[in-house]
Each structure stands twice: as C-alpha cells, then as structure tokens.
Chains A and B, each alone.
Chain A
C-alpha cells in the first residue's frame, strides 16, 4: 500500500531518497495512530481506577529507599499530566511523601508511561520495552534517592510549605461504567488530536532520516564507537519536548539506521523525562539550586544508562 502510494501514485522511483521517505511515512503514519488510539482507550479505562491521590496516600507512610522504588513504579501507571505537576508536587510533599520519592515519581511518570511502553512493545518487541522500562525506573529511583540523601527540603520555595493546604480524598474521579468509558473515549480522542500532530511530525523527521541520511553517517555519530554520542544525545534531548508517542517514530529510524541502542534509549529518556517547559513550571516550587540538581542528577543517570547498554549490547 505504502509502496503503491509512493511509487505508483506519486511516480517516485523506488530506491530514490524521496520515494523511500514517502513510502516509509505512508506506511507508518496510519499504523502508529491506530495503535495509539487503541492503547490510550484501554489504558485510560484502567487509569480511571487509579488516581494520583491514591498513589500519594500509598507513598505517604513510606521512608527510605523503598519509598523511591515504589514511587518510581507507581509513576508508570498513575495518570499524570505535566500541566498539573505543581499541584501534584505540593500535594505529595505536604502529606509527608519524602521529597526524594516525590522526585522519583516526577521522573518516572512522564518517562516510563504506559503509552510509551505499549508503543515500544508493539514496534520493537518485548526486549527493548523491558530494557527501557527497567532502566527508566532505575533512573527515576536513583535520582530521587540521591536528591533525598542531599536533604534539599530547604531549597523549596517557602510558599510550598506555608500556604494553607487541605489534602483532598480520592473520591472525585469518574464512577460507574458509562462515565469511565466516556472519559476513556474522550482521552483517546484528545490524545490522537494532540499527539497525532506530534507523531506525524515525528514520522516526517523519521522519514527524512530514513530517506536522506546515509546509514554510515548514523553509525559514525550514534554508533557504539562514538562514546561522546551518549552525553551529546542527552544534551540535545533535554531541552526538546515531545511526549513518548511523538519520539518513537524517530527512535525507530535511529535504530534501523544503526544508531546504538544505549544512545537511542538515552535520547528518548532525555526528551520525555526532562524538558524546558516542565523545568519552567517546576521553578515555581523549587529554588534554582534544587532545580539544577534535579536536572543534573537525572541527566547523569540517563547518560549512565546509555553507556551501560552500549557496553553490554
């Protein structure tokens, strides 16, 4: 179908750069979008049973490294939108969730989210998915643990602990089957509308790389032998903001073109886990020192993951 569109309808030459790019684009676009719609529908339904309030209450009684691990794991399944990062952060800290565990959650939630995992699974198989999930949780766990050990509580903006606060209870989610289904269907539609553009741009970039960038170039700059490519990929990825669904088409092409797995994983984690807009939002609750430590610790963790996999695989 995609070949037919590219080579027959548009009259492009098979093997030509533009032809291969268009074929790739036409094949991947509908597939990824359909897959994403189904995944979000299912996941949103399950998530109507999980709320940030419950996650918060589960974490509130914990201390030590366990709280970081649990927070990193709960981050995978708990619905999270970076637009409510600030109220969530305050809600966690004020009911007594350790600061380190709050950070573990904040790293893991956008980076190792269910949409990313399902897409990775359907496009790359279980091995890469498992590697991504485990290392993502490890980065979230470790960076939160380090921040906890540094005792940075005094580097929060004072208003965070001072404003009047009353913890809400987790009773305000949708209830009843039809309400849950309605919310999930709407979530799927929303994400497709919003993320669809991202994915299409991602696929377009991917298609360009696929059609125009020679494989030798990629191997040279993102292959195993180029050790500096891991920190570079993280440095490029941190300010970029795309959610997991948008970055995956690019990841697909990078891998197919011979980029090393560690470098590619590091790039994906940096793009999804850290972003400039989220940093600006988080600056409202923490002083620059803490924000810098947060970004630094997570970035270092991601670089280590990249190195580890380039050495192992």
Chain B
C-alpha cells in the first residue's frame, strides 16, 4: 500500500503523516509512506486544500487531519 501525505510542510501535514503511520501500523499493513511537498506534485493529484491523504492513487481526505481511528477506517 502506498500512502501519500500532501502538503508543503505545515504543522498539520506533519501531524497527518504521524497519524497515518500510526493507523497503518495498528492495522499491521505493509505500506510505504511518502510526503509530497512540491506544489506541482500536489496539484497533479487534484488536491486543493492541504493536508491531503492519497492512498494508492486515490484522494481519501483533504483540508483536515482525521483522527487515528478515522484513518484506520480509511486504510482498512
């Protein structure tokens, strides 16, 4: 599973990356987590409000940081 966290490096983006990692670990998933920080790359994924979460190429959340529990639902 490829988890991408989109954002130019604001505090919320870091928080999302931490939580996504925690959620994926809780589920025992095999995953790689990538931080996408360049604007062209963020825009190319169709995300307008950061932080954004993209899982295997699909935008799962944007503009807010879901809780770890909500992230587990997303990743499951």
| Contact surface of A with B, Cβ cutoff 8 Å | 48, 51-53, 56, 79, 81, 83-84, 86-88, 90-92, 94, 159, 163-168, 172-174, 179, 182-183, 186, 190, 194, 284-285
Would A87 and B66 count as touching, CB distance under 8 A?
no
CB-defined contacts of B48 to chain A, threshold 8 Å: 52-53, 56, 84, 87-88, 90-92, 168
Indicate if the CB atoms of B61 and A172 lie closer than 8 Å: yes
Neighbour of A172 across the interface among B40, B42, B59, B67, CB < 8 A: B59
A80 (CB) vs chain B CBs: closest residue:
B49
A87 contacts B44, C-beta separation under 8 Å:
no
**Least distance between A188 CB and chain B CB atoms (Å):** 13
> Chain B 32-65, CB within 8 Å of chain A: the 1/0 string?
0000000110111111111011000001111111
Q: What distance in Å separates the Cβ of A66 from its nearest Cβ neighbour in chain B?
A: 22
In the complex the two chains form, is A87's CB within 8 Å of B63's CB?
no
Give A168's nearest chain B residue, CB to CB: B46
Known: A51-B63, A172-B62. A167 touches B49 (CB 8 A): no
B44 touches A86 (CB 8 A): no
Given A88-B49, A168-B48, A172-B62, 7 more contacts at CB 8 Å? A86-B8, A163-B44, A168-B45, A172-B61, A173-B63, A183-B64, A186-B65
Asked whether A163 and B40 contact (CB < 8 A) given A51-B49, A179-B70, A182-B67, the answer is yes
- How far does the alpha carbon of A305 sit from the alpha carbon of B25 in the complex, in Å? 55
- Measured between beta carbons, the chain A residues less than 8 angstroms from B10 are 81, 83
The interface residues of chain B lying within 8 Å CB-to-CB of A91 are 43, 46, 48
- The answer on a CB contact under 8 Å between B44 and A179 is no
Verify B70–A79 contact, CB threshold 8 A. no
Interface size on B, residues (CB 8 A): 28
Closest 9 CB pairs of A and B: A91-B48, A168-B46, A166-B46, A83-B10, A84-B50, A172-B62, A90-B43, A163-B40, A86-B39
Closest to B70 in A: A179
- B44 in contact with A164 (CB, 8 Å): yes
Most buried by B among A83, A173, A179, A285: A83
Partner of B64, one of A83, A94, A163, A173: A173
Verify B63–A284 contact, CB threshold 8 A: no
Q: Is the pair A165, B64 in contact by a Cβ cutoff of 8 Å?
A: no
Cα A90 to Cα B39 in complex, Å, equals 10
Given A90-B43, A179-B66, A183-B64, A83 and B59 contact (CB-CB distance below 8 Å)? no
Nearest-CB distance from B72 to chain A (Å)?
A: 12
B window 2-39: CB within 8 A of A: 7-8, 10-12, 39
Complex contacts, A84 vs chain B, CB 8 Å: 7-8, 48-50, 63
Could you tell me the distance between the alpha carbons of A173 and B52 in the complex, rounded to whole angstroms?
A: 10
CB distance from B22 to the nearest CB of A (A): 15
Contact of B50 among A56, A87, A183 (CB under 8 A): A87
B59 with A174: CB separation less than 8 A: no
Q: Tell me if A284 and B43 are in contact (CB < 8 A).
A: no
In-complex Cβ contact of B46 among A48, A52, A88, A167 (8 A) = A167
CB distance from A115 to the nearest CB of B (A): 17
Q: Can you offer 10 A-B residue contacts whose CB atoms are under 8 A?
A: A52-B63, A79-B63, A81-B10, A87-B49, A165-B43, A166-B44, A172-B59, A174-B70, A179-B66, A186-B65
User: In whole angstroms, how far apart are the Cα atoms of A190 and B15 in the complex?
Assistant: 12
* Residues from chain B with Cβ under 8 Å of A174 in the complex: 61, 64, 66, 70
Select the residue from B12, B39, B48, B53 with max chain A CB neighbours within 10 A. B48
Closest chain B residue, CB of each to CB of A86: B39
Q: How far is the CA of A172 from the CA of B49 in the complex (A)?
A: 10
